[in-house]
Amino acid sequence: MNQRQQGITHSTNFINGEWVDSDERIKVENPANGMLVGTIARAMPTHVDQAVSAARQCHNDRLIAGMAPYQRMQLLHAIAEQIRTLAKRGGKLLCLENGKPLSAAEWEFEEAARYFEYYAGMADKIEGQSIPLGEGLVDFTEYEPFGVSAQIIPWNFPVSLVARSLAPALAAGNSVVIKSPELTPLAVALLGEAMVNAKVPPGGVNILCGYGHDTGVALAAHSDIDQIVFTGSVATGQSIMKAAVEHVVPCVMELGGKSAGVVFADANLDQVISSADVGNLFNSGQVCSAMSRLIVHESVYEEVKQRLVACFSTKSIGAGMDEADVTPILTNIQLDKIAGMCARAKEQGAHCLVGGMPLDQAGYFMPPTLIEADANTEIAQQEVFGPVLVLMKFNTPQEAYDIANGTDFGLVAGVFTQNLSLALRASRALVAGQVFVNEWFAGGISTPFGGVGKSGFGREKGQEALYNYVRTKNIAIRLTP
C-alpha cells in the first residue's frame, strides 16, 4: 500500500499480490535538504521466504509460464500502460527521494513503460531451433523460463532498472522477486500498483525493500531461487556471486565502470563537449556508464580543456524540483567519498581545474569537477560515482588505448573522430561492452549493454537480454520405423 499523509509517503512490501507491512520502517530522506520524504516497511528475511515461496507457487501453477505467448505480450502491454499512469505521482516521489530533476524522474517511468513494450513485442518470438539428425530422429530446442528470478536493484535509476530486468523476465515466463534499493524504494513500491491494475497473477511479481546486509543476503542465498540478476557495486556483486555458488545459481552481473572517451585530433569538438557534459554530469555522475575519463590528443588538448572549464563552471547546482543541471549526491557518505578521492588526487599531484570540494550548504552537493591527473592515480582508476571528469593527454592511438584499457573495468567507452576507419579500429581496440562513437549514451533499450572485467558479465537490454531469462532444453525423438 502506498499512502500519503501530510505530504509524507508510507509504503509497504508487495508479496503474492498483497501489500504486506512490517514491524520496522526504513526512513527515506530528500538529499537536497535532508527532509523526510517517506517511510517503507522494512522487509526481513522472513518476508524473503514468503516472496520466494509465492513466486515458486506462481511458477509451479504455471500462472505466467503457462500463458500463451500472446497473453504474456498483452500482460506486458497492460503493465506498460499502468506504469505510464504513475509517471506524475511517481516522478515527483522519485525526484524527492533520489534528488534527480523532476523531468528525469518522470522520464524514468516513461522509459520503464517502453521496456515493457519492447519485451512485449518479443514475448511471442522466443523460438527454438530444429537440429537435423537424420531420417530416424527429430531434434529441437525449446527455451523455458528459469522459474524464480531474484533481482537486486541499485538506487541511481531504480524504476528504470527494475523494468530493465523485470520486463524480459516476465516476457520469458518467469516469476520475479525484486529487492528494491533501501535508499530510494518509494517510487519502485508504486510499481506494485501497476502490477495489481495490470492483473499480474499473484506471486508473479513481488517487491521487497530491506537492507542489503540481511534482506539482500537472504534473497541471494535463498535455496529456492533459480537465477540472480544483480545491478550494483563490484563488492556487492562479488558477495552475491559467492552466495550463488552455494546453490549453483546462474547470475547476471551489471557492475560499476570507469569509462573513457578518446578524442582524436580530427574530432568535432562540439560533439566532444556536449558528450562530456551529458556523459559526466547526467544524474550528477551517479551513472554506471558515465564518462569518467576523457583522453585527448595533444594537438587539441588545450582547446578541449578550456571549453570544458567553461562548460563545467557554468552549470546550475540545486534541487531536482528546480530542474538544476547538477542535483545532489544521494548521501553524505557518498559525498564524503567523492570529496576524499578529490583531496587525495590533489595530494598525488593532480591539477583540479573546476570544483573539487563539496558545497558548504544544506544538502549533499558536489559541483562539476574537472581534474587533470595521471592515468595510474586512484582518481583515474576507481569509480567515483559523482560529477568528476578526469582529463588526460595522448600522442599515439596505442597510447590512448593503453590508458583507456588500463583499469579493472570495461563497461562502455567512447571514440570521437570524423575518420570512419579510425572510429572502427578504435572501437575494436577498446575493451568495453559498448562503444559510443561521437555521442555518449548513443543507443537505448534495444542495444545490448553490459560489462567486461570488473564491470560484470551478461547483457541487459536488447533482444540478447531476453536469453538471460531462459534456459535451453533439447528434445531428441527417435521415430518409430
Closest CB 368 distance from ligand NAD, rounded Å: 19
Residues in contact with 8: Cβ distance below 8 Å, sequence separation at least 6, in sequence order: 36, 37, 38, 39
Question: Please, which residue, 215 or 417, has the CB nearer to ligand NAD?
Answer: 215
Residue in 153, 191, 384, 389 binding ligand NAD, rule: CB under 6 A: 153
Residue 165 lies near ligand NAD (rule: CB under 6 A): no
Closest CB 65 distance from ligand NAD, rounded Å: 26
**CA dist., res. 105 & res. 116, Å (int):** 18
Question: Please, which residue, 37 or 64, has the CB nearer to ligand NAD?
Answer: 37
Closest C-alpha among 156, 331, 346 to residue 254: 156
Closest CB 238 distance from ligand NAD, rounded Å: 9
Told to judge if 288 belongs to the known catalytic residues of this protein, a careful annotator would answer yes
Residue in 17, 147, 256, 387 binding ligand NAD, rule: CB under 6 A: 256
| CA dihedral sign, ordered 413, 415, 420, 422 | negative
Closest CB 64 distance from ligand NAD, rounded Å: 24
Taking CB under 6 A as the binding criterion, the range among 5-13, 33-41, 141-149, 209-217 that sits at the site for ligand NAD is 209-217
**Site map 367..406 versus ligand NAD, x via CB under 6 A:** ----------------x-x---------------------
Q: Cα separations (Å) of 367 from 155, 257, 372? A: 20, 21, 16
Taking CB under 6 A as the binding criterion, the range among 39-47, 83-91, 227-235, 357-365 that sits at the site for ligand NAD is 227-235
Taking CB under 6 A as the binding criterion, the range among 26-34, 38-46, 149-157, 299-307 that sits at the site for ligand NAD is 149-157
Query: How would you classify the pairing of strands 388-394 and 291-297?
Result: parallel
| φ and ψ at residue 243, rounded to 5 degrees | -65, -40
Amino acid at 21: D
Edge-to-edge, what's the strand order for the sheet holding 369-372?
351-354, 369-372, 388-394, 291-297, 259-263, 412-416, 434-437
Strand stretches in 309-465, DSSP E: 351-354, 369-372, 388-394, 412-416, 434-437, 456-457
Residues in contact with 211: Cβ distance below 8 Å, sequence separation at least 6, in sequence order: 26, 42, 182
Positions marked catalytic: 254, 288
- Which residues contact ligand NAD (rule: CB under 6 A)? 152-156, 179, 181-182, 212-213, 216-217, 220, 231-233, 236, 239-240, 254-257, 288, 383, 385, 411, 456
